[in-house]
Structure 1
Amino acid sequence: MVWRVVYVLLLMFDALRAEECTEMTDLDLKDSLTGTSLSVRLLLYTRVNVSCGHLLSHQEPFSNPRFNLSSPSTFLIHGYRPTGSPPLWLTEFVQLLLQRRDMNVIVVDWNRGATNINYWKVVDNTRKVAANLTDLIQKMEVNGANLSSIHMIGVSLGAHISGFTGANFNGRIGRITALDPAGPKFNGQPPSKRLDPTDAQFVEALHTDMDALGYRDLLGHIDYYANGGADQPGCPRSIFSGSQYFKCDHQRSVFLYMSSLNGSCPITAYPCDSYTLFQDGKCMDCGKFAPDGCPVFGYDAVRWRDRLLQLGQTRTYFQTNKEFPFCKFGYKVDIVTWNQKTHWGHLTIKLSNRKEEVQVELNHKTLMFERFVESSILAQFERDVQPVKEITLRFCTGKGLRPRTKLRLLSIRLTPLQNQLSGPLCRYDLLLEENKDVTFRPIPCEDSNF
């Protein structure tokens, strides 16, 4: 008899918990093939219920006592769901947001409407989702919420949903973060038909798959092009890799932004006109952002908002590792040679503190070494090795069986790009023989110029 009572109580507890906690809609490929009609659900998370979503009523959202209108609100909006499954990153994303700040996190669940093999139909639904969110935010404003405290984070199609919603408030919403905004059906469209800088007081866009699923051109006050904006480190390059071949680059935007929420390894974004110029080390001057320096990518970028608004749309670049922590540690490498003849080739640089070492091959282009003319390039290492006690260089021309070239260095300077690192490292009068490692101990640079 007792066990029956316990069993009933457990069932009642499970039923109450199921009624109290709501998870994102979970569909499957069958739903995608048949198509789904749009239905928008709003799931509220706060520091009181970090892992338990509470469904907000569209008619009476403030009937939920956990929804605090005096707190800032962040809307997290997913994109196209071709297989119907909830995003794997959703729970961790919510938790990271709530660790950073006490806020309302509202997950916009439009999986019914985003799950459809017909992508064009899903695109049509983005305006309807925006209308739904507009209605909620209007209620929030009427009841005293400050639109400046609203942050919309949109992934892929969710980025344009954020833009459409912000446009309905004439850009009074505080911030829009676009994570690899969708490109198909939006590329080449006028601002009224996509996200644009007028949709919020501060609009930022991260590009990680601009040659496929993402958007190519500028969309915000600041646009970040991670690793050039297309192919991401560690993502497969063959169609035989399965679904990861199609989604890895696109999804990397989410994981990069989540990493910025962690805050343990900040990534500096360098304003530049092209990725090639960035790799050549031509865009390391952050003077126009003084006294704070170049913007930090991600959640804390809002610190640079006022300066970015003065500068207009700003294109920035950075490089990352293939997995967490994504940040790299960079040096601007400047070389002056004194060979009589001009030589072309590549360099490999290894840094060591005699306990661990890191290496990078600078082979994105062939460097020209002309007598007494400074050659510059950017070297990004996977991790920080301090203090640098030894540097190893290898010079390669790739000319095969031809006589080995000797490169005579008048000077080489490695200038760290992160403020927390030590000063520039130099060496003078060094001879490099092709395909042979030369190891030396760096010394402090004599002055700021060669």
Structure 2
Amino acid sequence: MTDLSFKDSIAGTSLDVRLLLYTWANISCGQLLSHQEPFNNPHFNLSSPTTFLIHGYRPTGSPPVWLHTFVEFLLKRRDMNVIVVDWNRGATSVNYWKVVKNTRKVAANLTELIQKMKDNGAKLSSIHMIGVSLGAHISGFTGANFNGEIDRITALDPAGPEFNGKDPSERLDPTDAKFVEALHTDMDALGYRNLLGHIDYYANGGADQPGCPKSIFSGSQYFKCDHQRSVFLYMSSVNGSCPITAYPCESYTDFLDGKCMDCGMFKSAGCPVFGYDVVHWREQLVELNQTRTYFQTNEASPFCKFGYKVDIVTWNQKLHWGYLTIKLHNGKEETQVELNHKSLKFERYVETSVLAQFDRDIQPVKEITLKFCPAKGLRPRKKLRVLLIRLTPLQNNLRPLCRYDLLLEKNTDVTFRPIPCEDSNF
């Protein structure tokens, strides 16, 4: 791929689109496709599926660090043509608004190529476009030129500046392909905030990603870490080693409160899996039109977390507010989560529910440790009397874990062995 520098960004670059073809036969080294005679390349098989990989704004001019790994993951999944759309000349500039204008020109270039592919026997239903940031909208513009007949568009943290609030014709939208998915990881800065696809994923709420710097003194990572995380999350889904469940929900708060664990709308299929393999839910998602989903991740690969729906019934006479820390043990290792996104309300004989997401799967769970931290107030309650705590695993079809009659004292660990849950309603 074209390798430029910050000097080029300051000077500005004129658009030049290069198409780099990768296949099983040349997985480690892309071959430049001719715009005039692209089919002269013996490795370009029009009967195979074709995936376009389109980068976004490149303010420093360097090639994306994730490029070759992404290509390798795609080609390990199936035999296909992977075309990296190198528009680094045109994407490298300190003038972001000039780069935005170039997105239409890149889309026109890709439209010309895809039309040639179609004229020579390729099917639009075999084309998948993966666009990062501005590349997401380039995918949308290209798809719109074919009246939404392209099979699939994947938008990885679609660019927000200059696109937020725009008419659908001026950005990516669900009509641009037969199936459109969008992942949001930096919606409060460089990414797009609202729904764009048949399914929209909001990782960790869609804004701040775990492990990313919180201070501007961290350098360039402060600006790009959240935005770039979308690529690494999707690459993980292509790799398939650690599937992530996406939960349809109206808000991130409702998701954290455990209100969105029921995916009955998908019937026997259950909740959709985020990313590359979401195609198994595709037909229902298209019927639903636009589905907002949430999930949490770890700060590094493997990104998948393991969730439990936690239900608690207390029997204190007076109302209690506070936070819980839950630790799971299997005899050899342990994992812990702090439920502190908000103060939990504990009312006598009223079930309190919350979602607990652990960084790894600990099985079998032999011991559970709880700690209650009262919320600050005029008269914080120091003891929480638990009538029932039930942890229901959200993966692996495992049985719920229960414990009855516990006394949790302020900031004190209480460890117990869980037992099978009784069929009781409170």
TM-score (norm 2): 0.99
Residue 269 (structure 1) aligned with residue 246 (structure 2): yes
Report how many residues are paired. 426
Distance 1:144 1:403, change over 3 A: closer
Partner of residue 425, structure 1? 401
Q: Hey, which bits of structure 1, 4+ residues long, moved more than 4 A?
A: 400-404
Partner of residue 140, structure 2? 163
Partner of residue 33, structure 2? 56
Kindly indicate whether the alpha-carbon contact (under 8 Å) linking 1:70 and 1:145 is maintained by their aligned counterparts in 2. yes
Residue 93 (structure 1) aligned with residue 70 (structure 2): yes
Kindly indicate whether the alpha-carbon contact (under 8 Å) linking 1:269 and 1:297 is maintained by their aligned counterparts in 2. yes
Cα shift readout 1:314-363 (whole Å, capped 9, x = no counterpart): 00000000000000000000001111101000000000011100011000
Distance 1:111 1:400, change over 3 A: same
Shift of 1:401: 10
Q: Give the percent of matched residue pairs that are identical in Structure 1 and Structure 2.
A: 82
Partner of residue 410, structure 2? 434
The partner residue of 2:181 within 200, 204, 216 is: 204
Distance 1:93 1:403, change over 3 A: closer
Partner of residue 17, structure 2? 40
Distance 1:337 1:312 in 2: 41
The partner residue of 2:267 within 275, 290, 295 is: 290
Partner of residue 314, structure 1? 291
Cα shift readout 1:72-109 (whole Å, capped 9, x = no counterpart): 00000000000000000000000000000100000000
Distance 2:397 2:298 in 1: 19
The partner residue of 2:197 within 207, 220, 225 is: 220
Distance 2:245 2:376 in 1: 37
Partner of residue 8, structure 1? none
Distance 1:364 1:132 in 2: 47
Kindly indicate whether the alpha-carbon contact (under 8 Å) linking 1:45 and 1:106 is maintained by their aligned counterparts in 2. yes
Residue 114 (structure 1) aligned with residue 130 (structure 2): no
TM-score (norm 1): 0.93
CA RMSD between the two structures:
1.1
Cα shift readout 1:271-304 (whole Å, capped 9, x = no counterpart): 0000000000000001111211111001001111
Distance 2:424 2:40 in 1: 64
Distance 1:234 1:64 in 2: 43
Distance 1:443 1:272 in 2: 31
Partner of residue 161, structure 2? 184
The partner residue of 2:126 within 149, 152, 162 is: 149
Matched position secondary structure for 1:128: helix
Q: Unpaired runs of 5+ in structure 1?
A: 1-23
Distance 1:401 1:185 in 2: 48
Kindly indicate whether the alpha-carbon contact (under 8 Å) linking 1:404 and 1:433 is maintained by their aligned counterparts in 2. no
Distance 1:335 1:43, change over 3 A: same
Partner of residue 324, structure 1? 301
Cα shift readout 1:223-266 (whole Å, capped 9, x = no counterpart): 00000000000000000000000000000000000000111110
Partner of residue 258, structure 1? 235
Amino acid at match of 1:352: H
Partner of residue 395, structure 1? 372
Matched position secondary structure for 2:73: helix
Amino acid at match of 2:417: R
Distance 2:79 2:124 in 1: 17
Shift of 1:399: 3.4
Kindly indicate whether the alpha-carbon contact (under 8 Å) linking 2:383 and 2:407 is maintained by their aligned counterparts in 1. yes
Kindly indicate whether the alpha-carbon contact (under 8 Å) linking 1:75 and 1:152 is maintained by their aligned counterparts in 2. yes
Shift of 1:403: 7.1
Partner of residue 239, structure 1? 216
Q: Unpaired runs of 5+ in structure 2?
A: none
Residue 335 (structure 1) aligned with residue 274 (structure 2): no
Partner of residue 14, structure 1? none
Kindly indicate whether the alpha-carbon contact (under 8 Å) linking 1:167 and 1:198 is maintained by their aligned counterparts in 2. yes
Partner of residue 443, structure 1? 419
